[in-house]
Amino acid sequence: MTRSELIAAKLTSESTTVAVVPGGPVKGSIRPPGSKSLTNRALICAAFASGSSRLTGALRSEDTEVMIDSLRKIGIEIDESPDGKIIEIASPKLRVPTSDELVSLYIANSGTTIRFLTAALSAIGGNYRLHGVPRMHERPIGDLVAAIAPNLNGTISCESPGGCPPVLVRSKGWKGIEIEVAGAVSSQYLSGLMMAAPLCGKPTRIAVVGELVSRPYVEMTCRVIESFGAKTETVLKGLPAHQSIAFDISPAVDSEKIGYQGASYAIEPDASAASYFWAAAAITGGSVTVEGLTRDAMQGDVGFVDVLEQMGCTVEHHTSDTGGGITVHGGRLRGIDINMNAISDTVQTLAVVALFAEGTTRVRGVAHNRYKETDRIGDLARELSKLGAVVEEHEDGLSITPVGDHGHGATLQTYHDHRMAMSLSLAGLRIAGVRILNPACTVKTYPEYFSDLQTLIARPHHWESPGSLG
């Protein structure tokens, strides 16, 4: 069993609980680990590059480990430093499976891994079965498969109902120079196709049908692709009526399967992870600086500080001359009406901040959050209600109205969703007795989260074993 499979087994086992202990204003500074989104994008580009690459500031987590495991299985030579922050990728020696060979790739519950690899492997050719934990087999990938199928020299199919993994790929590469993909469920479908396009060895257009969610992640993809030598051009005019946007992608190297040039690439701290620490300042009236991120960061989730500013916080942006970073100073919080389509991974963080605001907070534009690691609208509403809030679900989001000054403690489910665990834990900064089940699920993207939070707030959490819960 691989390391990533052992991690996944841990997530489905009985777990301890953790409760963050209430206290005064949180003050301090912290540098979160590297961005998961950037690490997995850089791994894909470096794996199919001419020449070696060196990634610095990388994230070590379940999501990145399953990506690395899978790339190694197809012949990519990857070396990691002991802490996982430096990754060396050799010039690729691909092992494209023969017609009778099926490579099994285990991807746990990593959406980026299965979506990026499905696209890339279909482009280079070979026979693969990509599978994961039970929840992954409930997460839609049908729109990506439907986009690839008409342009594939071979076959691609989903094995679970509703267009969900496992995904079976039998390919001799792409045949088309234009691919259409629906954009309303996940921008990762588009990003995966964009990163796979240079592997065709010729210019390719990837066009979006209908609404595109989480566009900042697509802009991030463009910048990573260009860092490894490929070219991107955004097309907004002259498109058919059913297309909202398109991207013309050209390879860096005029050769099939090797579409990029090796590079040295520095990865920013994770902005989604940073949202928890900025939220800690907002919830407690404290002051927290996240180092290594600026308003010009590649990750759209730095925009979370602008949302906190609307709620009554003060935001201070530091220049590189003063060491960089973004500081949030807590203030008197008020409810807001906000469209969070562009920064949907921070919805759970905002929802917990809303528990301590005056008035109702309405979150809009995130219907696609129901198809993440868990239903991040319905399940989030259920857990917030346990704390005493009045929560109303909507098709595209939710409304949160606090009850009383402080709410009350409760034992909260995480649904094996790392973001549920990290965000809901913050309620404990103000409410006693908020116990988080299965805190180990943060290993998916941030294994050291509870340790880092404990260091920042300067007091220990309260841990309980399953047998002590009664």
Specify whether 270 is catalytic: no
8: enclosing H helix or E strand? helix 3-11
User: Residue 342 carries which side chain, given as an amino acid letter?
Assistant: A
183 Cβ contact partners less than 8 Å away, ≥ 6 residues apart: 189, 190, 208, 209, 210, 211, 212, 213, 244, 245
CA distance 254 to 273: 38
CA distance 304 to 261: 33
Choosing from 63, 143, 270, 345, the catalytic residue is 345
CA distance 424 to 19: 10
CA distances from 461 to 63, 326, 409, 438, 449 (A): 26, 26, 15, 14, 12
Per-residue b/e over 191-223, b at no fewer than 16 CB within 10 Å?
bbbbbbbbbbbeebbbbbbeebbbbbbbbbbbe
Six-digit token string for 195 = 């990163």
**Cα dihedral across residues 218, 224, 228, 229: positive or negative:** positive
Alpha-carbon dihedral 18, 23, 24, 26, rounded to 10 degrees: -20
Six-digit token string for 56 = 């610095």
CA distances from 249 to 123, 423, 431 (A): 14, 37, 50
For 53, counting Cβ atoms within 10 Å of its Cβ (0-12 exposed, 13-18 middle, 19+ buried), the class is buried
CA distance 338 to 334: 12
Residues annotated catalytic, as ranges: 345
